[in-house]
Structure 1
C-alpha cells in the first residue's frame, strides 16, 4: 500500500519566530530594515527628502558624530563605554586653533593628534593598570576635560582661517551629487577599522576581550595590551573628528558638541552593537549613524519639534537595547 508523504505545515506563528531568529542571528538586518523604512516614510511625507542636496546635507551633518562613533564602537566591543570621546575632540579643535597662531597648520594637526592620543592613553591606562571601570574612568575624564577645555580657551571661540585645518569641509561634485571631503574621511575611517576588526588578529582579539576577558587571557591573548590599544586608537579617531569639525564649522568652540558622547552611544546601540561587548560591527554603527541623521532631518522637514525628535531617538535606543537583551537570552 503506497503512502503519500505529508509536508509539514508551517504556521504564521512559526514563520514569525523563524524570521525573528534570523534577525537575531544577523544583527545588521534590523538596522538596515529600520533605515530603509525611515527613508521610505520620509520620502512620502516630505517630497524634498530624497533631493540630492538634502541627502548630501544628511551625510555632512553625520560626519563628526559618525567618526566619533567608530571609536565608541571599539570601546563598547571591549565591554566598556567612553563618555569622554566628544570632549576629547572638542579640546582637539581648540589645540589646533591655538597652535595655528604660532605654528603651521600641519604642526597644529600634529599637536592635536598628540593631545588626543595622550587622553586616550590616560583612559586606557586607568582601565588596564588600575582596573577601574570604563564608565567611571571616562565620566571622570569627561568632567575634567570639559573644565580644562573652557579654561584653555578662556571661554572664547577661535576662528580658523580657510586652509588645511578646514580642508575636510571642502566640497566637490560626483556628477550632480555634491559632498565634502569630510564625508570621504568618515567613510575611510569606517573602511579601515572594518578591515582591522574583520581581517586582522588585533580585531579578533578585540572581540575576544569583549566577549570574555578571562577566556581571552587563558587562550594567550594579551588582554591589557589589546584594551589599551583600543583606547589609543580611539584617541586617533577623536583627532580625525576634531579635524572634520573644523571643516564643518571653521571655529573652535569650547561649548560645541555637548551631546556628542551620548549621540555616539546612540548610533552604536541602534546599529546593533551589544552594550555587553563582543558582538557588533562598525558597519552597523554607520547604519545607526545614518538612521539618527535621517530621523532628525526627516522630522525637521516634517516640522516636528526637536524635543519630540529626542523622544523618538530615545525610544529607538530603548528598543535596540531590548532587542540586544532578547538576543543574548536566545543565544545563551
Structure 2
C-alpha cells in the first residue's frame, strides 16, 4: 500500500533542489567590489587562510579548506571550540581568518571573537546574518544570507550550508584564476588521484615495466610465436636489420595465418605482419594513449621514437593506473 509520503517523494526532492539553487542564485547580486577586496586582501597576504566554524559550519569550513589547498591557496581548518583550548596556536600573524556561521551570534563566537581580535589578524565573516555579532566584528563580510532552510521545520542546516559551500567555491576559483593556477600546478597537488595522473603521467612512466617482444622481419613463425608467448603481450613488434619499426604481429594475425594455410614453414614475420603499427611517443601523456586505444578499438600501442621500438603500453596498464 502506497503511503502519503511515497506519493510526495519526487516532489519533495525537486523542491529541495529548487530552493537551494534559487538561494544560490539570489546571492549573485551580492557579489560586488567588497568581494573583490577580499580576494585582493588574500592575494596580498603572506600567510595562510584559517577557516573556522561550529557544527555544520565547521564541516563546510573543512571542505572549503580542502578546496583551497588543492587549488593553490594554503589553508587549514581550526574548530572554533578547539581554538579556545589551545588550537589558536595554529594562527600566524600574517594569516587571514574566515569564520563560517549562519546566525553569527552563538555563545562560542562571542567568546572566540575577542581572542581572534586580540591576535590582530584580518577576519572574514561568511555569515547569513549580516547584522550579527560576527559580522559587526569582522573586517570583511561574505553575505551568505538565506531566507529559509530546505528543511520543512526550518531547522536542519541545508540551504545555508549549500550556499556557504558555493561561496567557498567562488572564493577558491577567483584565487585560482588570479594566480594563473595551471593544470600542471593542479597535478602537483593531486599526484595520487586519477585527475592528477591524467595531467602528469606519461607513456614513458609506464612502458619500461613491460616486456619488449620484438623480432626481425626475417624471423620464422616459430620464433614469432615463442617471442609472443614468452613476453605475454599478445603481440610483437617487427623490425628491419636497421632496427627500424616496420610492422606488428598480433594474435589476430596468427589466427588469420592459420585460417589461410596449413603449412607456414616457409613464412616469415614480414609475410604476416601488419604494416601500419599503431604507435605513440614516449613523451605523450598516458591519457592520450587511452584515447587512441579507444578511438581505434585496440588494446595496446607500440611506443616508438624515430622509428625505434622502445616498448609497449597496454590497456591493462592504464586500468592499473586508475585512468579508466
Give the strand-richer structure, 1 or 2. 2
TM-score w.r.t. the length of structure 1 is 0.25
Q: Which fold has the larger relative contact order, with Cα–Cα distance below 8 Å and residues 6 or more apart in sequence?
A: 1
TM-score w.r.t. the length of structure 2 is 0.25
Radius of gyration: which is bigger? 2
